[in-house]
Structures are given as structure tokens and as C-alpha cells.
Structure 1
Amino acid sequence: MLKVGLVGFGMAAQVMHAPFLKVLPPYEVVAVLERNREDSKKLFPDATIVRSIEDLLQSDIDLVVITTPNETHLPYALQALAAGKHVVLEKPFTITSEDAEQLIQAGKAAGKILSVFQNRRYTADFLTIQKVIEEGMLGSVHEYEAHYDRYRPDPKPGAWREADSPGSGILYDLGPHLIDQALCLFGLPQHITADIRRQRPHAVTDDYFDLRLDYGFTKVILKAGMLVREPGPRYSIHGTLGSFIKSGEDPQEAILKTGQLPTAPDWGCEPAELYGLLHTTVNGKEIREIYPSLQGGFGKYYQHLYDTIVNGAPLSERPEHGYNTIRLIELAKESQEAKATIPCTQLMAH
């Protein structure tokens, strides 16, 4: 049993972390940091509510899960590691690659597990795309395009992600999902070209991006915006043998927002109407068919983490992955400022 201290109980904690920490038997949430409220009592009635990170770190816990705003990630993680705790950080890992490197070194010095919560590795669509590419169904992929679009024309009151502050904006919010998926599929890119914009009249930070990652033969396109009322395909992947087109949003987040716990045997399964279209050649025969999605499940992140902490299994979501995501965000901003394609430098082995 891993005893958990949960830092923050906002939307990220309530929707993406707490439900899985509640239902997975190897975990027990024993302390929650809430500055002013006691919202976590409904889900964790036996957990102690604390008002400071110092009080939380004095609790009898093994793992600290940090879900608070981006600027707190570095100081809270450093404190937790210094206190001898394993640490999970919500994405983005940190605000700067320099901070990320400092955290990596602190994790090594402490001899504790440090991981970034990249839950979008465990969606039905991405797991299916991994299989399609890894099994060579498309041949050699020459173009991969992924979107994370929304329609939110109006400001969201009190949203720190939309404020003019370090680590805010859509590139830091949704960019880590798309960038991390691309790195999982294709490794480290050679060059990057970025178009980062403020499209909504009230925007004080970026609310649109178009990133182009150059892998030589393979071109990766990553896009996100807040003014896309009618989205196109979420993923369009083209290879030398065929194409895979996938639309729709993974259902887990929407279900979790209703308060439903992830206990059903079919948790993470997509409805058939969201399955992708595979058009390719298999054994010399052309096929064009609906391809069933694999079962996803954000909880797989915590299952793998437990296996790492308790059984010594290799860590799936390594801190170096978090570093590379942040470094590519920095490079994207440099590319935008220069209005130019620039080399992808100072990346760590993925």
C-alpha cells in the first residue's frame, strides 16, 4: 500500500487523479492540501486536510502528487524530494527546462521516483495509433497530424491558465499532451517551426498554436486552438502503404467530470462510432475499414507507477520526458519570435 499526499484539489486533482487513487487498491490518500476548503472530504473522508506543503510533508506518506498551478511545481517537488518522498507532477513538468533539469538532479540525489503525469498516453485513440504504427500497417509514416481543439470564444473567469503569467496559455496547457505523444511515437525531432497566436480579442496569453516537427522523412503537425467550433479529424496519419484517420474525443474526461468513478470493466473503451478509418494494403490486398479502438484507461499510469516504486519496474513516464516537452515549448517560442525554423537543441535521450 502506497500512502499518498495530494497537493491541491482543483479540477486536475478531482478529475484526473483522485478518482484513480480512490479505486486502485494499492493506493491510499491519507492527506490533502487544500488552502481554504474541504472539498476532498467527500471522496476521502478519512484523509487529513492540511493547509501547507510543510504540514503535508510531515504526514506519514510515501508519494506526493502535485496538481497545483505550474509555478508551484518546482518548489513543491523540491521540498517533497528533500523530505524523502516519491513525486508525481501534473503536466507541464515545470515552466522552464532549467527548472526541469534541476528537478531531475534533485530526484537522483534523493534516490526517489520522480514522474510526470502524461495521462494522454492512455487514451483509446493514442494506444490504437501506437499499435497501427508499430505493426507497420501504414508502412513508413511520412506525415502525422494531431489536433487538440476546443470552442471557447469567451474568457473563463478566474482561470489561471488564461492569465498573463509564466506557464500560462494553451501551449503550456495542451501542448504537453500533443508533444509527448509525438515523442513517444517518433522520438526526438531535428527541427521545429512554430506559429503561436492570440486569436480571441480578450486573450492575454496564447490561445492557438501550430507546431511543425521535422524528422527528416517524417513531418509532424501539432495544432490546438480555442475557436474551432466544428473540429475535423483529431488524428490524420499517412504512410507509404496507407492512412489512418481518427476523430472524436476520448470519453474518459467527460465521464470523470460527472463524478463517476472508473470502476466499470469497460472503462476507457470508446463507442464504436468513434473508431478510426484504416485504409491500407495488407498482404497485397487493399482494405478500407473501420478499425476498432483498443481499451484505454488513465489509471494505467498509476498501475505502472506502483509497479515501479514497489517492484522496481522501469519508470514509464520519466522526468527526462517532462524535460523534453518543456524544452520543445521553449524552442517553439524561439521559433515564433524568430519567424524561422530552428534546430532542436539540448534535448535529453528519450
Structure 2
Amino acid sequence: MSETAPLRVALIGYGFAGKTFHAPLIAATPGLALNLIGSSDAAKVAVDFPRAAVVADPLQAATDARADLVVIATPNHSHAPLARAALAAGKHVVVDKPFTLDLAEARELAALARRHDRVLSVFQNRRWDSDYLGVRQAIESGRLGEVAHFESHIDRFRPQVRERWREQAGPGTGVWWDLGPHLADQALQLFGLPERVFASLATQRDGAVVADWAHVVLEYPRRRAILHAGMLAAGGSPRFLVHGSAGSLVKAQADRQEAQLLAGLTPGAPGWGQDPDELQWFGAERSERWPTPAGDQRRYYAQVRDAVIGRGANPVTPVQAVALMAVLEAAAASAVQGRALPPALSEDERAGFERERISGASPS
């Protein structure tokens, strides 16, 4: 690997996440070459990437000599073992969310990355969504005053349970482990770590075997951040709702990049990430509409590239990944115990997360 040659990327997993998100974003990022894909369906891969080598065994793909950076987009239970193997083989690693299944695994991988001096990052692509970028800009501008109430919704209308691993019984399945990492990561970037986490999870659809509804409250001294996801919402839920001492903000519609990717739009093509849905601000006596900035999830992979070649910072560090895992785990335990729980982080882990959050710039 050199600074002039493209970074050789192995993508493990060519299901929904790998095919829809990772592969197009990697392919559209200068300085990255997607030359190996771990998949049991070579014919499916060949349609999109005929020149890529295909390796059926995911463990072999994780340690293949033809890769500098390994991207893991496999079912959640396999994230930790594949990341462990890739780091031990000297690879830089990107893991799709959730990072691991529990806090102990997250800490283990963070320590392993430090020991091998490798970049280890988690694919929190929705930090570069238009809706989140717009809300973050509005909060940081001070136009809302001190935020007291924050709601973040990823609501969908999918009344039929689908035949996919995310909706079947197993470790790391269900809506909280699917969408919770996005919701919680954005809130933590905005407000830091909560004192306590209170969660309610439910299984609502006919035929569902894992939780398909999640309502989680992050408790701060004065602020409450509500994270919500459900599969029986046909409409009426804004993506973001924020109330502050100087006004309120509504972002009605979600970022369009996922829909654009599903429609086959190439990242970076005309219209990519553009969001015509404006932010709505309400003050005591007047209201305003503000344009929403464009989103671009390619920025995540551009920053990973720069971190690997030593020209920039890791966009989502193991410190952040461990902190997020503590919040996800606290929510899961809270739903079982019926009480608010603190994230199980040490004082050093909390301080390290806060240092990174304060020193880090807004997504760019």
C-alpha cells in the first residue's frame, strides 16, 4: 500500500447492507478500489462488479493478502469474530453497525486495534444524512436556545414480517439493534453521554418473533432525548422534533440517500443527497423555513481512506463505538428490567468519549 496507489478494499457480505450501501459508496470514493468481495453468490456479485475477486469463505476474505482495508457487512453475530481475524492479520477494518453484540466484545476489539496499530471504524453513515446535518446546524447556531426535548424517529410501514435475518430470532436481531445504533449515535454526537437510559421494546406485528417497536429515552440532567423506531407507522411522524428555550424545529422528511441508492443512483451523480424538504423553525411570534444541507455518505469512506494513509482522523473511533455499545446495551437491559440504567462505562471511558466529541468538528 502506498499513498499513490488506491487502497485495496475487501467487502465481506453482499446482502442488503453490502450491496445497497457499502459497495456503491466505496466504488464512488476516490482512492479506494473494491477488488475483493466475500460472498457465497458469485453470480450476484459479477452483475455489479465483474472484475472483483469473489471469496466464499468470510474468514478467508477477512485475512486475504489482496486487501488493505476489510469492510464487514455480515449478520451482526459475525461482526466481532471477523473483525478480530482481520485485525490480527494486520488489516484496517470497518464494521457495519452495530459494532458488536455487547460491551465486552467492543472493548476487546478496541484494545486489539490499539495493539496492532490499525484503523478500526464503525459505519455510522447517517452522520452524513441531510436531515441530521440540518438539525445539527440549527442546534449549533443557537437559534433554538438550550435544547430541552429532542425526538428522533425512524418509522416505517412494513406490516408484513420479511424473510430476512434482521427480523428472525437470533443474537443481535430486532429493530433496536438494526436502527437503534443510528438513532443513539446521532444523539450522542449532539449531546454526549446520558446519565441513564430507559427503554421499552415491543413485538407488535402478526408473525413477528423479535421486537419491531422501540422507544428509548436518554436522560440528561435537564434534557430528554427520545429515540423511536416502529414498523407500523404509515405516516405523520417527523424525522426530528426539537424543542428549546428559544424555539422549536421540525424536520419532517428523512434523508433521501437510501432511496436514491435503492433506485440505482450512483453516489455523486446530479441530485445526490439533495433534500428539498426544508427545516421548519417556530419561535414565539413567528416561524421560518431554512434550507436543508445536502447529505453525502461518501464522506465517511473518504475520511476512513485518509485515516488509513495518515492524512486525517478516523471518523468513527473505537472510543465512540464502545460508548455507543454501552448505551445500546443499557437500553436492552432497561427493557427487560423496567427501570432506567446508566451506561456501564468507566470514568476514563466517559472522559475519553467527551474529549473526542468536543474536539471533533461537525461532519464534513
TM-score range, shorter chain: over 0.9
Letter in 2 for 1:337: V
Residue 105 (structure 1) aligned with residue 108 (structure 2):
no
Change (3 A) 1:77 1:140: same
Identity %: 37
Asked whether 1:252 is paired with 2:257, we answer: yes
Aligned Cα root-mean-square deviation (Å): 1.4
Q: Which amino acid is 1:192 matched to?
A: V
Q: Would you say 1:194 and 2:192 are equivalent positions?
A: no
Superposition pairs of residues 227-306 of structure 1, within 5 angstroms = 227-271=232-276, 274-280=277-283, 287-306=286-305
> Alpha carbons of 1:250 and 1:78: their partners in 2 closer, same or farther (altered >3 Å)?
same
Cα distance in 1 for residues equivalent to 2:319 and 2:271: 32
Q: How many residues align?
A: 343
Where in structure 2 are there 5+ consecutive unaligned residues?
Answer: 1-5, 354-364
- Contact 1:145–1:235 at 8 Å: present in 2 too? yes
CA distance, structure 1, for counterparts of residue 134 and residue 50 of structure 2: 38
Aligned residue among 13, 18, 38 for 1:13: 18
- 1:110: how far off? 1.0
Match of 1:144 among 135, 147, 150: 150
Distance 1:17 1:164 in 2: 25
Contact 1:194/1:335 (8 A) holds in 2: yes
* One-letter amino acid of the counterpart of residue 172, structure 1: W
Pairing 1:346–2:351 present: no
Kindly provide the amino acid, as one letter, of the partner of residue 56 in structure 2.
R
Q: Is the 8 A contact 2:260 2:272 kept in 1?
A: no
CA contact (8 A) 1:151 1:229 kept: yes
User: 2:228 maps to what in 1?
Assistant: 223
Find the counterpart in structure 1 of residue 316 from structure 2: 317
Question: Counterpart amino acid of 1:325?
Answer: L
| 1:72-121 deviation line (CA, Å, top 9, x unaligned) | 10110011001100000000001111111111111111110000000110
C-alpha distance in 2, partners of 1:266/1:203? 37
Alignment of 1:60-209 (within 5 A): 60-157=66-163, 159-209=164-214
* Counterpart code for 2:344: T
Conserved? CA contact 2:119–2:308, under 8 Å = yes
What secondary structure, in the 3-state scheme, does the structure 2 residue paired with 1:116 have?
Answer: strand
- Conserved? CA contact 2:126–2:297, under 8 Å: yes
Gaps of 5+ in 1: none
- Structure 2 Cα separation of the partners of residues 58 and 147 of structure 1: 39
SS of the aligned residue for 2:145 comes to coil
Give distance in 2, aligned partners of 1:103 and 1:187.
22
Other structure's SS at 2:138 match: helix
TM-score with structure 1 setting the length: 0.94
Stretches of 4+ aligned residues off by more than 3 angstroms: none
Shift of 1:287: 4.3
Moved more, 201-210 or 61-70: 201-210
Amino acid at match of 2:46: K
